[in-house]
Amino acid sequence: MKPMMCFDVDGTIRGTTDEHIVYDSTILALKKLKEAGYPIVVSTGRGRDSFLRTGIQDIADWDGFVFNNGQLITDGKGNVINAHHFKNEDVIRTIEKANELNLAVTLKKEHRIITKEPDEYVLETQRYFGNQIGPVEKYNGTDLVDMMIIYGPKGWDYKPFLDLEGISVLPGLSCFADVAIAGVSKATGIMELGKVLGSDHYVCFGDSQNDIEMMKHASSSICMGNGDALTKAEANYVTADIDDDGIYKACIHFGYIKE
């Protein structure tokens, strides 16, 4: 079987300027990949609710979705294949550390909440994603949490969180870091999906540090020209920027599709 073609969303499929554009060349590349027999997959740090608000589910005939950096996997019709949740004590430790540093944390659970009033880092990240900010609530210590986001200065390394048990911290290109379950990633989610689709290898496209683990396990990895320096260093190939037909040009370069 041909490899799965796996795509990050923000900064890869979808622009991160105020318009949050999906370029026509990207839609055309996805259509041609599908026609050529490649399974096409979304692999994103976004939760399912957040992703569905982008409308990207409607731009192509997707074969599957990996949400929350690998913590929720569904088929192309949205049927759940597997879901992973944080241990409650790991959520509590993360919030306690953030409170010590006066940083906000978003918890993605049955409904999205944030642990303190939005500050400049939260608002800048909201502009970057065009996403919603949840209500300020205290975590009750028992609800299942699918994903966390910590908000801090752009370019910060989030070092105070790196030794916390049970989590991995993935800094983004704006004022945030995704927090995932240790050992769970876009790569593990893709491989879980691959068992259902009948494919054990994949090609991936990404732009930021939450794509690095996905790139490490890919047959071929492509970073957008607008991507993060560390992600570019990990990728096998750096294509043009998202607004310069980067996905389409990479697919032509590797012969996945024809003009």
Instruction: State the pLDDT at residue 199.
Output: 96
DSSP string, 161-184: GTT-TTEEEEE-SSSEEEEEETT-
204-218: average pLDDT: 96
Burial letters for 236-259: b for 16+ Cβ neighbours within 10 Å, e otherwise? eebbbebeebbbbbbbbeeebbee
Instruction: State the pLDDT at residue 237.
Output: 99
- Using one digit for the tens of pLDDT, what is the confidence trace for 143-155? 999 999 999 999 9
pLDDT band at 110 (very low <50, low <70, confident <90, very high): confident
Strand positions, DSSP E, the chain:
4-7, 40-43, 64-67, 72-75, 80-83, 105-108, 113-114, 147-151, 167-171, 176-181, 202-206, 220-223, 237-238
Res. 114: pLDDT tops 90: yes
- Give the residue with greater pLDDT, 206 vs 110: 206
pLDDT band at 130 (very low <50, low <70, confident <90, very high): confident
Give CA separation, 153 vs 121, 131, 139, 150, 171, in Å: 6, 18, 23, 10, 10
Domain ranges of the chain: 4-84+184-253, 88-181
Strand partners, 203: 5, 220
Backbone angles phi, psi at 148, to 5 degrees: -130, 150
pTM of the full structure = 0.90
The amino acid that residue 163 corresponds to is D
4-84+184-253: CATH homologous superfamily? HAD superfamily/HAD-like (3.40.50.1000)
Res. 58: pLDDT tops 90: yes
The domain 88-181 having CATH identifier 1.10.10.60: the answer here is no
Sign for the CA dihedral angle at 110, 18, 215, 152 comes to: negative
Instruction: State the pLDDT at residue 129.
Output: 87
